[in-house]
Amino acid sequence: MKVNKEIKVHEEPVLIENGKVLVKEKLDFREEQLVLSQDAGIPVKEDIHTGLRPYKCTQCDKAFAHRSNLASHKRIHTGEKPYQCRHCEKAFATNSNLTSHTMVHTGEKPYQCSLCDKAFTNNKDLTGHIRIHTGEKPYKCNHCNMAFTRKSHLTSHSKIHTGEKPYQCSHCDKAFTQKCNLIMHSMNHTGKKPYKCSQCDMAFTNNGHLTNHTRIHTGEKPFQCSQCGKSFTQSGSLSKHTRKFHTGEKPYQCS
């Protein structure tokens, strides 16, 4: 059978989200598949063949290869989060982000590191983690010599130079460079401690504090001194030990 190489054009509107038609324009067959794939949570790659990004955001300078990517991006500006988690009150701008979040509830971590026993809910987090093993830090600060494994870490760091603290506490005058820090701070006002120890009645405002506490029960001391072999449950304890007994460093001078 002879294959018709011409691109088919569909007359019916096909950009659909949660059963609602968003765009009533003709889309070529390839783009239709991209739209439907993204709505199903399948990552859509940029058009690497042409390099074209004809779909431009009217509110910032971002541009995209496909209309579906632009539609998802616009939700950053509108704040629209149509994908609601069934297990908690969180909502997301894209179905793929909801899928990754749902794994927090199910415990599923399909992305396994081949260099250690760590596993992740999505490929992006795995890629960032692997750079810890390789030492790769592709995201470099323009203001200092710091470099980072993830773009989000660079973005947060850059606010140190700009002084930007966009996340304002609604209970006091404190402001933060990162949203996660604001969330943790807000728990001091609300008294909320969602991270509960499974072995005792202790609870914490963030997962990092819970992880450190859990080592009291397990006896795990993953931070080992390279000079004497002594081990600690927290990296901060190792740093204090190193300064006190080995380097003599006193970084915190009274002014």
pLDDT 10s digits, 184-234? 899 889 988 888 999 999 998 888 889 889 999 999 988 889 889 999 888
What does DSSP assign to residue 135?
Answer: -
Question: In this structure, which amino acid lies at residue 58?
Answer: T
Q: Are strands 167-168 and 223-224 parallel, antiparallel or unpaired?
A: unpaired
d(CA 10, CA 25): 9
Quote the pTM value.
0.46
Q: What is the DSSP string of 58-86?
A: SSSS-EESSHHHHHHHHHHHH----EE-S
Q: In the chain, count of helices (H) and strands (E)? A: 8, 18
CA 162 to chain centre: 22
Q: 171 pLDDT band (50/70/90 cuts)?
A: very high
Going from N- to C-terminal start, the domains of the chain cover 9-78
pLDDT 10s digits, 44-64? 444 556 678 888 999 888 888
d(CA 150, CA 125): 9
Which carries the bigger pLDDT value, residue 142 or residue 23?
142
Q: What is the mean predicted confidence (pLDDT) over 169-182?
A: 89
Specify the DSSP element, H or E, that contains 182. helix 179-190
Specify the DSSP element, H or E, that contains 153. helix 151-162
d(CA 134, CA 8): 45
Specify the DSSP element, H or E, that contains 97. helix 95-106
d(CA 159, CA 23): 37
Instruction: Give yes or no for a contact between 41 and 95, defined as CB atoms under 8 angstroms apart.
Output: yes
Specify the DSSP element, H or E, that contains 132. helix 123-134
Q: What is the mean predicted confidence (pLDDT) over 176-190?
A: 88
pLDDT surpasses 90 at 140: yes
User: Angle of helix 29-39 relative to helix 95-106, nearest 10 degrees?
Assistant: 30
Specify the DSSP element, H or E, that contains 213. helix 207-218
∠245-250-254 over CA atoms, to 5°?
A: 145
